[in-house]
Amino acid sequence: MATGEKKYFVPLESNPELFTELIHKLGVSKRLAFHDLLTLSPSDTELLSFIPRPALALIFVIPAPDGYSAQLRVEEKDIPRHDKCGEEEDVMFYYQTIGNACGLYATLHAVSNGEARTFVEPSSHIARLIEHCTPLNSAQRIAALESDSELEEAHASVGFRGNTAPPEDLTVEPHFAYMTFVKSHKTGRLYQLEGCRQGPVDLGCVLSEDEDMLSGKALCAVKEFVQKAGKGIEVGYSAMALSVTESGEES
């Protein structure tokens, strides 16, 4: 859905079932699914035990005040814009230019990076999209996503099915923001990815081959970042983990 020159989508509700349906529609194996993440404390073993392992990516939703995107641009005004591609990139990054589509961009970041890439079905739409976007610069990736009608249709098919009614005015920036945390499939470094930023944020944490996104090291780094993003407030966010579910049927 577009208004004038800028394209706007219906905001995605933070619902693991809807996000799981979206990645399956795009062509990710049904062995992967999103699950509610109810704690960021490594010592909370009981709550963490409900999430299948390994966890390959985390998606967070945090409160976003009016002008959130503009505030980030001011904070990052001295940071060069990310324009790497292919082998130059430690993680694959997509700039967000489609309004209200932060949930979609968070999903793309989750499945385009880390071990999740190995669960992308060959010849699927998401496989073709990743292959097409890998050698492109930032402007070319923006154009690829904005012109992708199949991606837009998949998003719309789940966007209109949440428990929250779509906003009447899609041009109004929502009061929440999605961000993704991934482990680089190249170096094991932990990154925060958010399409309205200048580029990936390196959290200064390197995970070993056997450490997933719910390892103590990853959770501590993510918790520290989320607390800073929320100005020290530990409440008011929701989170999902993208995990390998061995009982899932192959697509």
**Structure tokens given for 88:** 């130059």
168 burial class (0-12, 13-18, 19+ CB within 10 angstroms)? exposed
pLDDT in tens, the chain (251 residues): 444 478 989 889 999 999 999 999 999 999 999 999 999 999 999 999 999 999 999 999 987 766 677 777 788 888 888 999 999 999 999 999 999 999 999 999 999 999 999 999 999 999 999 999 999 999 999 999 999 999 999 999 998 886 666 666 666 676 788 999 999 999 999 999 999 899 999 999 999 999 999 999 999 999 999 887 765 444 468 999 999 987 555 43
Residue 16 preceded by cis peptide, ω within 30: no
Length of the chain: 251
Q: By the 8 A CB rule, do 3 and 9 touch?
A: no
Q: Which residues contact 118 (CB under 8 A, 6 or more apart)?
A: none
pTM > 0.75:
yes
pLDDT tens profile 86-119: 999 999 999 999 999 999 999 999 999 999 999 9
pLDDT tens profile 197-217: 999 999 999 999 999 999 999
Residues 2-244: name the CATH superfamily. Peptidase C12, ubiquitin carboxyl-terminal hydrolase (3.40.532.10)
Return the axis-axis angle of helices 149-159 and 125-133, rounded to nearest 10°.
130
How far is residue 18's CA from residue 14's CA, in Å, rounded to a whole number?
Answer: 8
Q: Of 105, 115, 111, nearest to 197 (Cα)?
A: 105
The structural domains of the chain, with segments of one domain joined by +, span: 2-244
